[in-house]
Amino acid sequence: MNLVKQTIDGIYNLLLGLGVTVKHLFKKAITVQYPKERWEMPERSRGVIVLLSDKETGKLNCTACMLCARACPVAAIKIEREKNPETKKFEPTSFDIDTTVCCYCGLCEQACNFSAIKLTGKYEFSVYDKDRLQYDMDFLQEIGRDVKYEKKKKVAKKAVKKAAQKKKEDKAGEEEKSQEKSATKPSAKADAAAEDEKPADSEQKEESKTEDKTGDDKNEPDSSEESESKKE
Amino acid sequence: MLELDPIFDAISEWLASFLPPVVVTIVKGFGTAGVVLGVLSLFVLFFIWMERKVSAHMQQRLGPMRTGWHGALQTVADAVKLIQKEDLVPSDADRAVYFWAPVVCFAAALMAYLVIPFGEGLIVQDLNIGILYVIAITTFTVVSLLMAGWGSNNKWALLGGMRSAAQIVSYEVPLSMSLIGTIMIAESLSMITIVESQSGPFWNWFVFRQPIGFIVYFIAATAEANRTPFDIPEAEQELVAGFNVEYSGMKFAMFFLAEFINMFTISALAVTLFFGGWMAPFPFLDFIPSWIWFLAKAFTSVFVLMWFRWTYPRIRVDQLMGFAWKFLLPLAFLNIILTGIGIYIF
Please state whether the predicted TM-score (pTM) of the whole model is above 0.95.
Answer: no
pLDDT of residue A220: 45
Q: CA-based angle A106:A109:A111, to the nearest 5?
A: 110
- Where b means 16+ CB within 10 Å and e means fewer, A22-56 reads eeebeeeeeeeeeeeeeeeeeeeebebbbbbbeee
Residue A50's DSSP bridge partners are A118
C-alpha span between A79 and A68 (Å, rounded): 9
For residue B164, pLDDT over 70 is answered with: yes
B303 contact A CB<8A? no
Q: Average pLDDT over chain B, rounded to whole?
A: 84
Instruction: Over range B251-258, report the average pLDDT.
Output: 85
Say yes or no to pLDDT of B184 above 60.
yes
Name the minimum distance, in Å, from the CA of B61 to any CA of chain A. 5
ipTM of the complex: 0.70
Residue of A nearest to B58 (CA): A25
| CA dihedral sign of residues A130, A136, A138, A140 | positive
Which residue spans within chain A are E strands per DSSP? Answer: 49-51, 77-83, 90-98, 117-119, 134-135
Burial class for B70, CB neighbours closer than 10 Å (0-12, 13-18, 19+): middle
The shortest C-alpha distance from A40 to chain B (Å) reads 19
Q: What is the pLDDT of residues A113-170, one digit of tens each?
A: 888 888 888 888 888 988 888 888 888 888 888 888 777 665 556 667 777 787 777 7
**If interface means Cβ-Cβ distance under 8 Å, which residues of chain A face chain B?**
14, 17-18, 20-22, 24-31, 33
* Cβ(A91)–Cβ(A126) below 8 Å: no
Q: What is the pLDDT at residue A157?
A: 62
CA dist A189 → A37, A229, B163, B331 (Å): 49, 12, 83, 89
In a mutagenesis test of the B interface, which of A21, A32, A37 is the best target, namely the one with the most B β-carbons within 10 Å? A21
Mean pLDDT across the stretch B108-119?
84
Burial label for A62, CB within 10 Å (0-12, 13-18, 19+), is: buried
Q: What pLDDT score does A138 carry? A: 87
For B190-224, write each residue's pLDDT tens digit: 888 888 888 777 778 888 888 888 889 988 888 88
B57 at the A interface (CB within 8 A)? yes
pLDDT of residue A231: 45
Is B199 in a helix, a strand, or coil? coil
In a structure prediction context, what are the per-residue pLDDT tens digits for chain A, which is 232 residues long? 788 888 889 889 889 988 888 888 888 888 888 888 888 888 888 888 888 888 778 888 888 888 888 899 998 899 998 888 888 888 888 889 998 898 889 898 888 888 888 888 888 888 898 888 888 888 888 888 888 877 766 555 666 777 778 777 777 655 555 555 555 545 544 454 444 444 444 444 444 444 444 444 444 444 444 444 444 4
- Substitution target from B59, B215, B311 for chain A, most A beta carbons within 10 A: B311
- Residues of chain B positioned with their CB less than 8 A from the CB of A27: 57, 60
Torsion sign over Cα B91, B92, B97, B103: negative
Are B177 and B243 in contact by the 8 Å Cβ rule? The answer is no
Q: Which of A150-164, B16-30, B159-173 has the lowest mean pLDDT?
A: A150-164
CB-based contacts of B337-343 (< 8 A; 24+ apart in sequence):
B338/B181, B338/B212, B339/B180, B339/B181, B339/B184, B339/B185, B339/B210, B339/B213, B340/B184, B342/B209, B343/B184, B343/B185
Distances from the Cα of A175 to the Cα of A67, A105, A187, A213, angstroms: 31, 36, 18, 16
Cα distance between residue B252 and residue B246, in whole Å: 9
- In this prediction, residue A213 carries a pLDDT of 44
Give B83→chain A minimum CA distance, Å: 29
Give the pLDDT score at A219: 47
| Nearest by CB: A31 against B61, B307, B311 | B61
pLDDT digits (tens, 9 = 90+) for B281-338: 887 777 777 788 888 888 998 999 888 888 888 888 888 888 888 888 998 999 999 9
Show residues of chain A in contact with B62, CB under 8 Å: 29, 31, 33
Q: Residue A117's beta-bridge partner residues?
A: A51
Q: Angle, to 10 degrees, between the axis of helix A2-25 and the axis of helix B290-309?
A: 100
- Per DSSP, what are the bridge partners of residue A92? A81
How buried is B32 (Cβ within 10 angstroms: 0-12 exposed, 13-18 middle, 19+ buried)? middle
Alpha-carbon distance of B258 to A67, in angstroms, equals 69
Q: pLDDT band for position B245 (50/70/90)?
A: confident
Task: Tell me which residue of B199, B187, B180, B111 sits closest to B334, measured CA to CA.
Answer: B180
Residue B100 burial (10 A CB sphere; 0-12, 13-18, 19+): middle
